[in-house]
Structure 1
Amino acid sequence: MTKKTKKQHDSVASDFAISLTDTEQTNPAAADLLRLCAFLYPENIPEEILKEGIKALDGHLKQIADDPEAWGEAIQEAYKTQFLRYNPNRKIMTMNYSIQTFLKQGMSGAEQRIWAEKAVQVMNHVFPDVEFSNWPQCQRLLRCAKTCTDHIIQSQLILKEAPELLSEVACYLHERAQYAQARPLYEQALAIREQMLGKTHPEVAESLNDLASLYHIMGKYTQGKPLYERALDIVEVALNNEPSEPDKLHKRRATSLNNLGSLHKAQKLYEEAKPYYKKALEVLENVLKEENANLAATLNNLAGLYEAQGEYQIAKPMYERALEIWNEAVEDDHPNISATINNLGGLYKLMGEDEKVQPLLEQALAIREQALGDHPDVAISLNNLAEFYKSIEDYAQAKPMYERAIKILKQTFESKHPHINMCVNNYEHLLSLMKKPQKRRSKRRK
């Protein structure tokens, strides 16, 4: 920085400091709103972050949180500084990055840490549970949420809300197949919970399950297994110590058992997988006695195991029961319901009930495309529908489906991922069939 540039910089910084001091004297809450915004994503601050999120704080901001008149006065005073601007059509606020920088430079290191923690508390308060119906709001808040998770990781913030926010944001990224972005957030959530709560706390088990499930979907089975096993051990020990919230722990135990079953099934270790699924089912049916999404998912997974072992007559009623529960538990367009619809279609194909196959596979694909976009689950549906078209020798329909499925999977996973191998093998088989003489293919159709 040249002397002239430094002089200009110092002059601007002085002007900012004077303006903030004036605002502080006129309306302390307005000054605090500006300080808070300095630690959020500059170009996109949804207004609900400030209006609702400050309810999690104390001090001046807590005082205006439930007072519409005081809130209005504070936010208007903040706008007068021109540090903060409002877009009424999108209901977002913006603060230029350079303004954020000057505001931060006016704080000591300790003050910066305090305001970074406040930003985390605010975001944790407004970031919703990662239910499918909340995905649009999760996406709207994502930039500011990721800014706050960056604060947690870079500044090593240790507070109760930190692992909660990290886990929720990571879960959303996980659901949207942004696995590389989710992983460091899960890892940091686990590290903070271990530091704050000890390595055997049930909340640690939740973080272990989260991280293991990420490794699982990425095909890193050897890395996921010990984390799943450790999570299960923690929960089972906690259940033996007469916990105050046993149902919560039973749900976690069922989740861990189901996940371990799925991990073994993914490796075609069917006999090892079966007892995990059966124990999970026992907890859900006999202990919790709830017909909900967790039960539907476990039934679907156990049915898939029986299908893989050729036990079609056992698998079919399980899939059908799972579908009934899904239909009661979630909306028709929920992506989770598509897994059972897809699997039931595949089972009918194996059972020779071809007339039932195509409608189910197409329904599953339509739900997934609408909900997920270019996602690995969409790729799996494309592969399955392509397999159906290949089986009826409609190669022209099958080929672009395989190609799109492979493209999605290669954009998402490493090259040796099991899903990529499966889809590429199926596609290469199609190409070999297409090279056979037309007469022979036509003869088979008759």
Structure 2
Amino acid sequence: MSEARTPVSPTGRGNARQTVTISFAGFNRAWAAWIGDRLEQHGLRVVYLRWDSPAEEPLVNLLRDLALAEGRILILVSEWYFQLGPRTHEEWNAALREVVAPEASRFAAVSITNASLPTATAVLAPANLTNMGADEAERRLFDRLDLPVDAQPATGAAHRGPRFPAATPEVWGGVPRRNTRFTGRDGLLNDAYHRLQGSEPGAGVLTLHGMSGVGKTQFAAEYVYRFGSEYDVVWWVNAEKRVTYRRLLAELAPKLGLSTGAEYGERLRAVRDSLRRGDPYSRWLLILDGADEPDQIWDLVPTGPGHVIITSRNPEWGEHNSQLLEVPVYSREESVAFIRRRAPRLTEPEADQLADALEDLPLLLDQTAGWLNDSDLSVDDYIALLEGGIDQDVVKVSADFPLAFQTAWSILLNKLRETVPESVALLRLCTFFAPGFIPVRLLKEMPHDDLPEELSGLLDDPLLWNKAVNQLRQYSVVRLESHEFPADETGSASGESVYLHRMVHQIVHKDMPDEERREYIDVVRRALAAADPGRPTDTRNWDAYAEIVAHLKYADVLKSSDRNVQNLVLNCLRYMWFAGEYNSGVKLGKRTLDTWRRLLGESHARVWEATFHYANLLRSTGRVLETEALERAAADQLREERGERDLEYLRTVAGLAADLRILGRYDEALELERWLYPTYQELLGDQDSRTLNALNNMGFSLRLLGKYEESMDIDRRTLEARRLLLKARHPWTLLSEGSYAINLRLLGRYGEAESVQAKNVRECRIVVGKDNPGTLRAELNLALCLLRGGNRADAGELLTNVLEGYERKLGDTALETLSAAVSQNCFAREHGDIDQARETGESIIARYEMLLPEGHPFIIGARANHALVLRSVGEREHAHVLIEQSLADMTAAVGDSHPYTLGCAVNASALRNLVGETDSAAELSRGTISRATETLGRTHPLTLSARVAHAADLRGLRDRQQAEKVEQEALSDLAATLGPQHVHTISARSRNRPYWDFEPQTT
């Protein structure tokens, strides 16, 4: 039997505990954490000492101080350990021989690098832990420390320590390659770590903020590599634009094993829910890079047990439940250390001199030192150039940038132009895309006919392309990493995206000759146009459009006279409407109209096309008065110029009818639509999509007028025709199916309605995604079907989710959001917090009053609902006055036989009865029965409510015999129509007086 080895032993300093002091470079913290955890699990005490090597302190002294540490000293050998200072290999060899060699038994080492190291490192006899698994690495570690390899861990198998550093977390994506020149920031990194680790669950959000070029992204990436082993999921997202952020975060869904459809809206919802619950992973880290506009994405920042790091120039993140940590410029010591590693030929005084001239800005230090190391130019001469020798007309491009930055870039561009001129051409091309991730693959995929000669050569020659990209990469002008297309491990420049810093983008874009500017912007415009999928209604193309839209502004596409570029703009506007990106679409639409009117003239065909798309987007944001004025003026001009049988005129009139519907002018809208439909039939035939659109819109107006049977008949016809013409999963087909289900529900056919709508919701989620307004609209109807059918629990949950979805997508003042808010508030009145329902009801009324003209049925209906809230909190007189006014106003708005008016009458009779006006209540409920029977039929749920209410009024008049007769007939019809166990039947049988909830119909 072999003799057991003695584990790490005391060193004669009076401490009998087994102790290991780990000395490590901050860059290798993940290794130190893993090694320390393995030792602690086997009963050892571990002390962590981060190795620092200030240049002014002799290396021998630093090693002697290290030798004072407790227990055995374990050095984690890597190039980072020896480069701090920076120190030469000669210095290290001398110090190791003088300090370590005499008491080599106190020191041990493990090597976590394959790089060349000082020769005297041999005295440490490092055990190599590279290129192996965790088990073998642990065996070699224990062997080097003379620990028994069969020792049992001190804790149970459930212990979850840091991940083995060579093992990637379970889910890993989008993280930039580690910057091997990262310098300093150790205190700041530790501060960030402790802030996140010390945060409460759901509050682990930290924003790294600071000026452009300060290195926020590099800092975040270094955090990932130092601390990422403690997470199961690490996901990096470009968050400069909301649409890009949503798309990239949604890509996490399949990585988490979530079962979703292909559309990113559905995947995004699933990802956020998974992260919130911490299922299947609770240890997650999400990095939102470049989130400079909190208002754009704060509502989409996940919560849960994991952590979020945001990089931003904007400290306003502090107002959105995020901790703030400012990333400053380098300290002078960090600047000097960085420069000397980037440019070894420079002395320490020269590095200090250069850092002072460049104001310690990391990005500028990186780029300048990189090329200065390859240049014969002295630091003095370079600084002279910065101070005006090369360009006397230096100006500050931005308050964020140092004064010398413009000149520094002039020098760097000259250097690039002298070595690989094509790299400057590529860099300038990139500035006509949005800063950040540049999809340069679009340049390579576009037709290369008629390109400027230097660009044609660059794009057609892969070797020249790689040479240009590598030159830019060498001087840190671009990065090769991108979320979608990471560079390969060989460092090849064949990737299809590059990353261009916003600061560099702005400088290069400004410093460009006019002739090249005209040539390059035209190339990028053509590249974007060539990437146009061409079918914005096809949801499979939405990812492509989302990427393209981000670059339209920077390519200044609106000023292009190229027909293909103009088609791209129109398709992007169409996509933004279908995808529910209304607010962004309105901004683009307004700029398009203003620019094209000047460029093409007021009556150009493309101006009318842009007007149509802009009006759709503007209407969808609730700015209907503006939309009506725009379309009425357009209709007048088109009728005068082209006549009433022109297709552009007809389309504008259809838009005007939609405006009238939203404004509550239902009769006027229907009158226009009854003219439009046969006109389209005559011009285009029954099966043209425009004819079907006209028929569909007529169904909307009929439903708003309370003519549910006629509306349902039209919806059925439209649905069948669209299924044949456009297929079952086209968004318009799904819209018709949803409209048909709404009419079934409004006619009291709740079971049929729920069956149709449940299918419709499933299809909408697949086709357009979970967060699309079309899906939310479908879910709202499903929730109301569930509620009318008696499934209150599921209905309440869905109503809440739909309202939250609308608020996230469209904001709380959009008309569609308000429709959901009205129905959710009615549910809350009966099954939730009545005080909250009162507050919310008042808010709904105020928002409607802000958006719609006085006397609009939606405002009146919201007030009628609020009367029920007042009744429930005991304010009977106030409720009575409000419902009476609502009844009078609704009668004036839509007539005395409209379902809206009949519903107000049902509620008004209840309030009259409650305040003692029994005769008046009975008279009103009797008249309501008569009008409801004529309009909706004897067994419609609203008619049945009026009949049950009238029985209660008769009992109030002590006409018990007649009350019993009316009640029994109503109960019999209720049981036959809705079923004997339906909640309405049971409620009526218990003599609970029915009420009516106003519901804003889709316009």
TM-score range, shorter chain: 0.7 to 0.9
SS of structure 2 residue aligned to 1:44 = strand
Partner of 1:72: 462
Pairwise mapping of residues 22-421 of structure 1 onto structure 2 (< 5 A)? 22-24=419-421, 32-55=425-448, 58-60=451-453, 63=456, 70-83=460-473, 85=480, 92-97=496-501, 100=505, 103-104=508-509, 106-109=511-514, 111-112=516-517, 114-133=519-538, 135-140=539-544, 142-143=546-547, 145-152=549-556, 157=559, 159-160=561-562, 164-240=567-643, 250=647, 252-289=648-685, 291-370=687-766, 371-421=768-818
Opposite residue 705 of structure 2, the aligned amino acid is: Q
The alpha-carbon distance between structure 1 residues 331 and 52, as it changes in their structure 2 partners (threshold 3 A), is farther
Aligned partners of 2:446 and 2:530 also within 8 Å: yes
Structure 1 position 399, deviation (Å) = 0.7
The alpha-carbon distance between structure 1 residues 240 and 378, as it changes in their structure 2 partners (threshold 3 A), is closer
Asked if 1:18 corresponds to 2:421, the answer is: no
Once the two structures are superposed, what CA deviation does each residue of 1:182-207 show, in whole Å capped at 9, x if it has no partner?
A: 12211111012111122122322222
CA distance in 2, matches of 1:137, 1:286: 33
Structure 1 position 418, deviation (Å) = 3.1
CA distance in 1, matches of 2:788, 2:526: 55
Once the two structures are superposed, what CA deviation does each residue of 1:10-63 show, in whole Å capped at 9, x if it has no partner?
A: 566534433334434xxx6x7644432232234433354113335476322785
CA distance in 2, matches of 1:11, 1:425: 59
Opposite residue 303 of structure 1, the aligned amino acid is: G
CA distance in 2, matches of 1:175, 1:359: 25
Aligned partners of 2:536 and 2:572 also within 8 Å: no
Opposite residue 431 of structure 1, the aligned amino acid is: A
Structure 1 position 326, deviation (Å) = 1.9
Opposite residue 429 of structure 2, the aligned amino acid is: L
CA distance in 2, matches of 1:147, 1:391: 47
Once the two structures are superposed, what CA deviation does each residue of 1:359-378 show, in whole Å capped at 9, x if it has no partner?
A: 21112222222323223323
The alpha-carbon distance between structure 1 residues 233 and 117, as it changes in their structure 2 partners (threshold 3 A), is farther
Partner of 1:424: 821
Aligned partners of 2:750 and 2:788 also within 8 Å: no
Structure 1 position 341, deviation (Å) = 0.8
The alpha-carbon distance between structure 1 residues 385 and 182, as it changes in their structure 2 partners (threshold 3 A), is same
CA distance in 1, matches of 2:510, 2:536: 39
SS of structure 2 residue aligned to 1:148 = coil
Aligned partners of 1:254 and 1:280 also within 8 Å: yes
Structure 1 position 409, deviation (Å) = 2.3
Once the two structures are superposed, what CA deviation does each residue of 1:205-247 show, in whole Å capped at 9, x if it has no partner?
A: 2222222222211121110012112333344344359xxxx9x
Once the two structures are superposed, what CA deviation does each residue of 1:385-428 show, in whole Å capped at 9, x if it has no partner?
A: 22222212221111111111221222344544433333222223
The alpha-carbon distance between structure 1 residues 316 and 141, as it changes in their structure 2 partners (threshold 3 A), is closer
CA distance in 1, matches of 2:784, 2:759: 15
Partner of 1:443: 986
CA distance in 2, matches of 1:163, 1:119: 14
Aligned partners of 1:378 and 1:405 also within 8 Å: no
Opposite residue 121 of structure 1, the aligned amino acid is: R
CA distance in 1, matches of 2:449, 2:540: 22
Aligned partners of 1:208 and 1:230 also within 8 Å: no
Aligned partners of 2:537 and 2:574 also within 8 Å: no
Aligned partners of 2:577 and 2:616 also within 8 Å: no
* Structure 2 stretches lacking a partner, 5+ long: 1-354, 360-382, 387-403, 487-494, 833-871, 873-982, 990-1003
SS of structure 2 residue aligned to 1:357 = helix
Aligned partners of 1:346 and 1:357 also within 8 Å: yes
Structure 1 position 94, deviation (Å) = 0.4
Most deviating of 348-357 and 411-420: 411-420
Most deviating of 335-344 and 115-124: 115-124
Opposite residue 819 of structure 2, the aligned amino acid is: M
Aligned partners of 2:452 and 2:519 also within 8 Å: no
Opposite residue 45 of structure 1, the aligned amino acid is: I
Most deviating of 215-224 and 424-433: 424-433
Structure 1 position 274, deviation (Å) = 1.6
Most deviating of 367-376 and 42-51: 42-51
Aligned partners of 1:123 and 1:145 also within 8 Å: no
Opposite residue 35 of structure 1, the aligned amino acid is: R
Aligned partners of 2:660 and 2:669 also within 8 Å: yes
The alpha-carbon distance between structure 1 residues 427 and 86, as it changes in their structure 2 partners (threshold 3 A), is closer
Aligned partners of 1:36 and 1:115 also within 8 Å: yes
Most deviating of 93-102 and 205-214: 93-102
Q: Which has the larger radius of gyration?
A: 2
Opposite residue 335 of structure 1, the aligned amino acid is: P
Most deviating of 269-278 and 219-228: 269-278
Opposite residue 433 of structure 1, the aligned amino acid is: E
CA distance in 1, matches of 2:787, 2:542: 39
CA distance in 2, matches of 1:115, 1:278: 51
* Structure 1 stretches lacking a partner, 5+ long: none
CA distance in 1, matches of 2:439, 2:686: 37
Greater strand content: 2
Aligned partners of 1:296 and 1:323 also within 8 Å: no
The alpha-carbon distance between structure 1 residues 233 and 442, as it changes in their structure 2 partners (threshold 3 A), is closer
Once the two structures are superposed, what CA deviation does each residue of 1:52-92 show, in whole Å capped at 9, x if it has no partner?
A: 33547632278569xx9x35355334334244647795663
How large is the RMSD of aligned CA atoms in angstroms?
A: 3.6
Identical pairs, percent: 13
CA distance in 1, matches of 2:813, 2:510: 47
Opposite residue 336 of structure 1, the aligned amino acid is: W
Aligned partners of 1:295 and 1:322 also within 8 Å: no
CA distance in 2, matches of 1:121, 1:227: 31
Structure 1 position 344, deviation (Å) = 0.5
The alpha-carbon distance between structure 1 residues 136 and 266, as it changes in their structure 2 partners (threshold 3 A), is same
SS of structure 2 residue aligned to 1:147 = coil
CA distance in 2, matches of 1:81, 1:391: 67
Higher relative contact order (CA closer than 8 Å, sequence separation 6+): 1
Aligned partners of 2:750 and 2:789 also within 8 Å: no
The alpha-carbon distance between structure 1 residues 200 and 431, as it changes in their structure 2 partners (threshold 3 A), is same
SS of structure 1 residue aligned to 2:497 = strand
The alpha-carbon distance between structure 1 residues 63 and 289, as it changes in their structure 2 partners (threshold 3 A), is farther
CA distance in 2, matches of 1:309, 1:103: 60
